[in-house]
Amino acid sequence: MALSSAAECFTLAAGLHGTVVCMSLLSDSQLNQHGYFVPENPVAADQPARSWLSQFGLLRVQGPDSEKLLQGQLTCDVVALDTQHWTLGACCNAKGRMVANFIIARDEQGFWLRLPHDQVSPLQQHLQKYAVFFKAELQDLSTTHAIIADLPAETAASGCIDNQDLPQRRVCQWQDGTARLELGDGRREYWLEKNAAEAQLQDVALCCSDRNNRLDLNQGIIWVTGDSREHWIPQNIDWHRQGGISFSKGCYTGQEIVARLQYLGKAKKALFRIRSSDSQAPALLCTVTSESGKNLGEITAWQRDQGLALLNDDDELRQVRVKTAENQQFSASVQKLSYTEEQTTNSGA
């Protein structure tokens, strides 16, 4: 059965609170050993499909002081964020290292943060240290809500990431406590209660939720996980190019370090797209070296035969070696990420 239209899906999600569905798809029995949703008969990668993004969870921050709390802790400007848009953001420690990064949207009561499932509780605990001074409440919605996504067919990653007009493309709509987000690359997400989420997975083409990881890689999106918590400064993963940092909002925890790198420092490393036909999957933060064995950097994300790596900033770099967790090595080709905004700026200079 073909996917419903976006409007039909949204109406379905918002109107089925309390609906009972016979067979549960939102259960641990539908997850593989990596925590990804795997339906019984997933469609081919070249077909659009829907999925439960089981690898992500939701943290809700509400209360009269929720805006003040988050404005002093996050890299994004939550004061400027309205209920019709979403943005990316991060929360840093005092040294500017990211505790977590996320998608954030707001409704009339407060804010919703979507981030890797294993990061919800650590971020909640981190923010709670500051929340005691504000009239704000933090709630982990992992047990009550789910994230459903309409995903386009998988395509080869472009050599240049389109980061122009990001605020206008990042649209969010709310209806009866359900959010619909347009991600700008053909993806849509629905944040909703689990009974309504269950209904969205019935009688439609389904795919494994790791497809979303592949699409994130295509867009140069990297998520902080338990293994990389407090490891990277936001610029290490191009969060400034992805619209996840405001340099005009004022002070927040870690802001001095982030701003200093932006205005006074020169980044010695850059993100590269990395590809290999080798069947081995490197672990996060595995070492990447030159052909001669010189240490160049580390893996920041990986999905099947490709990933992203933070490497020495060298425009001539084409081939590298990747060390796996088992201390094995395989060859991979690399290409430095580029962005349409930078190309437009340079061409107009």
pLDDT digits (tens, 9 = 90+) for 136-150: 999 999 999 999 999
Q: Which residue type is seen at 220? A: G
For position 344, what pLDDT does the model report?
55
Residue 29 DSSP class: G
For position 206, what pLDDT does the model report?
98
What is the distance in angstroms between the CA of the first residue and the CA of the last residue of the chain? 50
In sequence order, what are the beta bridge partners of 329? 323
For position 346, what pLDDT does the model report?
53
Q: 241 or 347: whose pLDDT is higher?
A: 241
Q: For a pLDDT cut of 70, what percent of the chain falls above it?
A: 91
Ranking 75-89, 128-142, 256-270 by mean pLDDT, the lowest is: 256-270
Band the pLDDT of 151: cuts 50, 70, 90: very high
Q: Which CATH class is domain 268-348?
A: mainly beta
Q: Does residue 161 register a pLDDT over 60?
A: yes
Task: State both tokens at 183.
Answer: 């991600």
Q: Does residue 333 register a pLDDT over 60?
A: yes
pLDDT digits (tens, 9 = 90+) for 173-200: 999 999 999 999 999 999 999 999 999 9
69, 130 in Cβ contact below 8 A? Answer: yes
**DSSP structure string for 91-125:** EE-TTS-EEEEEEEEE-SSEEEEEEEHHHHHHHHH
For position 242, what pLDDT does the model report?
97
Of 257, 213, 216, 232, the C-alpha closest to 99 is 232
Measured between alpha carbons, how far is 111 from 264 in angstroms, rounded to an integer? 33
Torsion of CA 280, 283, 284, 287, to 10 degrees: -80
Measured between alpha carbons, how far is 59 from 26 in angstroms, rounded to an integer? 18
User: What value, to the nearest 5°, has the Cα angle with vertex 149 and ends 145 and 152?
Assistant: 175
Task: State both tokens at 148.
Answer: 């459903």
pLDDT digits (tens, 9 = 90+) for 48-107: 999 999 999 999 999 999 999 999 999 999 999 999 999 999 999 999 999 999 999 999
For position 96, what pLDDT does the model report?
97
**DSSP structure string for 243-272:** T---SSS---TTHHHHHHHHHT---SEEEE
Q: Domain residues of the chain, as ranges?
A: 6-218, 268-348
Ranking 11-20, 59-68, 324-333 by mean pLDDT, the lowest is: 11-20
Residue 19: CB atoms within 10 A of its CB come to: 12
Measured between alpha carbons, how far is 13 from 167 in angstroms, rounded to an integer? 25
Q: Does residue 301 register a pLDDT over 90?
A: yes
Q: Does residue 8 register a pLDDT over 70?
A: no
323, 282 in Cβ contact below 8 A? Answer: yes
Among the four given CATH numbers 3.40.50.2000, 3.40.630.30, 3.30.1360.120, 1.10.760.10, the one describing domain 6-218:
3.30.1360.120
For position 345, what pLDDT does the model report?
52
87, 170 in Cβ contact below 8 A? Answer: yes
For 278-305, what is the mean pLDDT?
93
104, 81 in Cβ contact below 8 A? Answer: yes
Helix (H) or strand (E) holding 346: helix 340-348
For position 348, what pLDDT does the model report?
47
Q: Does residue 16 register a pLDDT over 70?
A: no
The chain-wide mean pLDDT, for the chain, equals 91
